[in-house]
Chains A and B, each alone.
Chain A
Amino acid sequence: MTLPVILISIGVAALLGLVVRNRWRIQLLMGISILAVFAFQPVLPVRGLDFWFPIATLALVSLSWILTASPENRNWHKNIPAVATLFGIVLALGLTRYLGLPLYLTASNPPQAIQILIGLMAISLIAFFLTRFSNPNKVGLIAASVFIILLFLILKFPQLSIIISGLLRSLNHQSSSLALAQDLRWLGFSYIAFRLLHTIHDRASGHLPSVSLSEYMVYVIFFPAVTAGPIDRIDRFIRDLRSPLELTSDDIGESGKRLLVGLFKKFAVADLLAMVALNATNALQVHSTGWAWILLYAFALQIFFDFSGYTDIAIGLGRLLGIRLPENFNAPYLKPNLTQFWNNWHMTLTQWFRAYFFNPVTRALRSGEKSLPIPVIILLTQTATMVLIGLWHGATLNFVAWGMWHGLGLFVHNRWSELTRARYTALSPQWKSVLNAGGMVLTFNFVALGWVFFALPGLAISANYFRILFGLA
């Protein structure tokens, strides 16, 4: 997100927080968040796609709500305002096409109104059938999860993205030979998908709170967190959303602090570091080991300040709106080991994977008739979890390598701490401090080396960079 967009978001959040009382709060938050999904979507070369992606987001959210809502909550009358807001905003945005004025509410000129109407009717028809003929049974929920994961795969696998982009281009009478994976940049889908999967899973396990369409919509596409998280839990989020909004000077002070810190981290520190951080171009140009390490450290710090800056901004915006979004980073580079690093880096994503992948798989492997040895289970689950986290960033071999790097690192740390626990406990506090400081340096450098796979586009260039880093080139 650009600085002007963030400043406008701050203005909108401050206005909503200061002016809007509880009666209209959820409806207004929903309306603003819908607008944000359109306004934040980047321009795409496939004609109309930057309008259809936001519509698809809204459709996915609405259909997921139908699948996960209890029958009494699906009540048509109770949700009329939400449906009317949804349709009204989409149609109004569609009609801006005919104003001929740059309103900056959509990435590019919206498609023709008739196309939008047909699209909305198709979505309504699916919604109608789902409401009428489906119950939120396990099969439906599994099918929905599979569908979302399928979409995820299409967006994350460059080869699949290119095929789909080619098809969409052909439909639009555009040259399919120009199709690129970047054509399918769907704003915030990684986060939206994980929130949807979380609600579907919690519905299946009976833990999902009862929420209206507007509440569900606000949870999934809450505009401060739609582009870069954090991934909140719906039960916690809804508690805040339903609480009376009474902004205190503490709220405003804390929000202002987080916003200022976030803006500084992102636009002063991270953007400056980005100028010298490791990338595919300078990886081939750097000629000495020392500078290679500096470029790598710059990347390590840039990615932290960039991401945690966005999180601070999201948390600050949320606070103005009465939502206390969860923390995503807690000084991860100052942790003495890799396990603690991952407990404090992108915390909401790792918690998601822990809850929906690591723990269930570990339980399953342990509870089998022929249970595997514990170290093997740890190796398998930690590596698989980290590889999946890698793939969440993009389905390339480099992200797999990055996941493996961390998975194996976590396993080695787990075994090491098992072996040395007794000796460590017996150490004096001074020795513990020394060891922790050493562990912090080691962990930071291990994580930094892992970023080589993250920053560079291929295994060959990564291997070459490792050679430069260790003076072997």
Chain B
Amino acid sequence: MNSKFIRNVFLKGLVLFIVIDLVFITVNPASLGKFSFYNLLFAGRQRFPFGENSSQSYNLSLFNLDAMFSSHVIADGPKPTDEYRVIVIGDSSVWGTLLRPEQTLSSQMNAAGLSFCGKKVRVYNLGYPTISLMKDLMVLDYAMRYHPDLVIWSVTLEAFPIDNQLSSPIVANNASRVDGLIARYSLLLNQNDPALMRPNFWSTTLIGQRRALADLLRLQVYGVLWSATGIDQTYPADYQHTQTDFNTDVSYHNMQPPTLQDSTLAFAEIDAGLRIAKKIPLILINEPILISTGENSDLRYNFLYPRWAYDNWRETMTVRAEEGSWKYLDLWNIVPANEFTNSAIHLTPSGESLMVGRVEQFTLQQSCP
């Protein structure tokens, strides 16, 4: 046996690996997310990829916005001339936790077959299941390239605390986009926040990117089962219903009654959203919450909100909406308690339809562009 042979094999392998890695770093692997079989071989997804139990939901969570948008039906070719394009951004209640794709707010609006200003209304679900205005802002900023005619932004108080803004994994893993938004809109967020994941040299190599690359590949492969089954989420036969009895704790993000400090809330992100939308109308919705009637419900509406904090925030929102001439729709109490599922903001299909009627009505009241 020739020991030179083995040495040469290893040396050649090493050199090849280094060369491939250098090419990979130079090419900027993040942009690989734009390559997608969705809307080409597979049907575009009706909502963003998100999920933990991939083998059952045929879906997965990833942090590459390019890949998320490329897999979405909104990326299916240029916008038709007869389409009035509405995008809905927000949290898991917009995305539709425990709802089938056709049961979400967006799909139910599409099912109504609305026309507006002589065009067919087509609503796109751009919700994503974490609660943070910064995350919504990031999605909105990206979505503008798809030329929406109307933006519907569904929010709730929990999206406002400053300390919630960067903790969402999708925000934390998109530090450069966050930097851009902070700089452009002078947001009061700390760019040195340790929650933001700053890539170093090694994390840009083939080895450092292996997980992200595997996720991109898995997203493409799951396109087969998404197209074959129309399933993008697991639907347990039974689940734990949202809490309706509470203890007497009324603190909210380390704040105590009676006043919610405005300085701890990210209202600047709402202003930034309005600036991103520019002349495109943006409807801001205060999404429905569970109003519990269980133990200590005189102190708390639900497990998310003590009454004082939520009421305080609602008042501020109303005032700011009037001052800023926002198109603001407050739907906080339109859904009865029995139409909530596993959280204080997740609705049943019937709960969604209650919301749909009000949103449709409000949308059609807008003036034509």
Binds B, one of A28-36, A242-250, A395-403: A242-250
Is A367 an interface position by the 8 A CB rule? no
Is chain A's binding surface mostly helix, strand, loop or mixed? helix
B224 lies within 8 A of A276 (CB): yes
Known: A275-B55, A286-B228, A294-B228. A252 touches B5 (CB 8 A): yes
Q: Is the CB of B5 within 8 A of A298?
A: no
Do A298 and B2 touch across chains, with their CB atoms under 8 A apart? no
Cβ–Cβ < 8 Å partners of A298 in chain B: 224
**Which of B54, B221, B229 makes the CB contact (< 8 A) with A285?**
B229
Q: Decide: A256 near B9, CB < 8 A? Known: A246-B1, A285-B231.
A: yes
A287 to B56, CA, bound (A): 16
Residue ID in chain B nearest A298 by CB atoms: B224
Interface membership of B225, Cβ < 8 A: yes
User: Is B332 located at the chain interface by the 8 A CB criterion?
Assistant: no
Q: Is A295 an interface residue (CB 8 A)?
A: yes
Chain B, residues 4-16, CB within 8 Å of chain A (1/0): the string is: 0110010000000
B228 and A291 form a contact (CB under 8 A): yes
Chain B, Cβ-Cβ closest to A273? B221
Q: Is B253 an interface residue when CB atoms closer than 8 A count as contact?
A: no
In the complex, whether A420 has a CB less than 8 A from a CB of chain B is no
Query: What CA separation (Å) do A355 and B184 show in the bound complex?
Result: 78
Q: Does A46 count as interface, using CB distance less than 8 angstroms?
A: no
Task: Evaluate contact between B221 and A287: CB separation under 8 angstroms.
Answer: no
Against B, the Cβ 8 Å flags (1 = close, 0 = not) of A14-33 are 00001000000000000000
Closest to B221 in A: A275
A288 interface residue (CB < 8 Å to B):
yes
- Taken together as a complex, chains A and B put the C-alpha atoms of A252 and B218 apart, in Å, by 34
B51 contacts A by Cβ under 8 Å? no
B169 CB-CB contact with A under 8 Å: no
- Provide the residues of chain B in CB contact with A292, threshold 8 Å: 228
Task: Check: A272 CB closer than 8 A to any chain B CB.
Answer: yes
A246 to B231, CA, bound (A): 56
Residues of A within 8 A of B224 (CB): 276, 291, 294-295, 298
**Is the beta-carbon distance between A272 and B221 smaller than 8 angstroms?**
yes
Mark out the residues of chain A between 245 and 268 whose CB falls within 8 Å of any chain B CB in the assembled complex: 246-249, 251-253, 256
A42 to chain B, nearest CB (A): 19
Q: How far is the CA of A251 from the CA of B218 in the complex (A)?
A: 36
B-chain residues with CB within 8 Å of residue A251 when the two chains form the complex: 1
Which residues of A155-188 have CB atoms within 8 Å of chain B's CB atoms? none
Contact A276 B230 (CB under 8 A): no
Q: How far is the CB of B268 from chain A (nearest CB, A)?
A: 42
Return B278 CB to nearest CB of chain A, in Å.
41
A287 B5 Cβ-Cβ under 8 A: no
Chain A residue with the shortest CB-CB distance to B1: A247
For A291, list chain B residues within 8 Å (CB): 224, 227-229
Contact assessment for B9 and A282 in the assembled complex, using a CB-CB cutoff below 8 Å:
no
A281 contacts the other chain (CB 8 A): yes
When distances are taken between beta carbons in the complex, the residues of chain A under 8 Å from B230 are: 287
A247 to B222, CA, bound (A): 44
Does chain A have a CB within 8 A of B217? Answer: yes
Q: Which of under 10, 10 to 19, 20 to 34, or 35 or more describes the interface residues of A?
A: 20 to 34
State whether B229 touches A249 (Cβ < 8 A): no
Residue in B55, B217, B228 whose Cβ sees the most chain A Cβ within 10 Å: B228
A276 near B9: Cβ-Cβ < 8 Å? no
Q: Which residues of B contact A286 (CB under 8 A)?
A: 228-229
Q: State which of A18, A248, A275, A281 has its C-beta within 8 Å of the C-beta of B218.
A: A275
List, in ascending order, chain B residues with CB within 8 A of A252's CB. 1, 5-6, 9
Instruction: Tell me the complex Cα distance, A255–B6, Å.
Output: 12
Among A253, A256, A295, contact of B228 (Cβ-Cβ < 8 Å): A295
Interface 1/0 per residue, B206-234 and A, CB below 8 Å: 00000000000110011011011111000
- Distance to closest chain A CB from B3 (angstroms): 9
Q: Let me know if B5 and A282 touch, CB within 8 A.
A: no
A4 to chain B: closest CB distance in Å?
A: 16
Cβ proximity bits A223-251 to B, threshold 8 Å, 1 near / 0 not: 00000000000000000000000111101
Q: With a CB–CB cut-off of 8 A, which chain A residues contact B5?
A: 249, 252-253
Is A285's CB under 8 angstroms from B228's CB?
yes
Query: How many angstroms from the CA of A184 to the CA of B134 in the assembled complex?
Result: 53
Bound form: Cα–Cα A247–B6 in Å: 12
Q: Which of A283-318 contact B (CB under 8 A)?
A: 285-288, 291-292, 294-295, 298
Least CB separation from A14: chain B residue: B6
- Nearest CB in chain B to that of A246: its residue: B1
B95: shortest Cβ distance to chain A, in Å? 21
Report the bound CA distance from A355 to B18 in whole Å. 51
Q: How distant is the Cα of A412 from the Cα of B54 in the complex, in angstroms?
A: 42
In the complex the two chains form, what is the Cα distance from A218 to B221 in whole Å? Answer: 41
What is the distance, in angstroms, from A228's C-beta to the closest C-beta of chain B? 23
CB contacts (< 8 Å) of B217 on chain A: these are 272
Query: Which residues from chain A contact B2 at a C-beta distance below 8 Å?
Result: 248-249
CB distance from A174 to the nearest CB of B (A): 28
B43 to chain A, nearest CB (A): 10
- CB <8 Å contact, B6 and A276: no
A275: B residues at CB distance < 8 A: 54-55, 218, 221-222, 225
A291 closest partner in B (C-beta): B228
Given the known inter-chain contacts A256-B9, A275-B55, please indicate yes or no for A287 contacting B228, CB distance below 8 A.
Answer: yes
Q: What are the residues of chain A within 8 A of B54 when measuring CB–CB?
A: 275
User: Min CB distance, B279 to chain A, in Å?
Assistant: 42
Known contacts A249-B1, A249-B5, A256-B9; A276/B222 CB under 8 A:
yes
Complex interface: chain B residues within 8 A of A247 (CB): 1
Measured CA separation A425–B250 after assembly (Å)? 90
Residues of B with C-beta under 8 A to A256 = 9
Q: Which residue of A lies closest to B217 (CB)?
A: A272
Contact bitstring B46-81, A, C-beta under 8 A = 1, else 0: 000000001110000000000000000000000000
Specify which chain B residues have a CB less than 8 angstroms from the CB of A253 in the assembled complex: 5, 9
The 4 lowest CB-CB distance pairs between A and B, nearest first, are: A291-B228, A285-B229, A249-B5, A276-B224
**Hey, which bits of chain B sit against chain A, CB under 8 A?**
1-2, 5-6, 9, 54-56, 217-218, 221-222, 224-225, 227-231
Could you list 17 further interchain pairs (A-B, Cβ under 8 angstroms) beyond the known A285-B228, A285-B229, A295-B224? A249-B1, A249-B5, A252-B1, A252-B5, A253-B5, A256-B9, A275-B55, A275-B218, A276-B224, A276-B225, A276-B228, A286-B229, A287-B228, A287-B229, A291-B229, A294-B224, A294-B228
13 contacting pairs across A/B (C-beta < 8 A): A18-B1, A252-B5, A272-B217, A272-B221, A275-B221, A275-B225, A276-B222, A282-B225, A285-B228, A286-B228, A287-B228, A287-B229, A291-B224
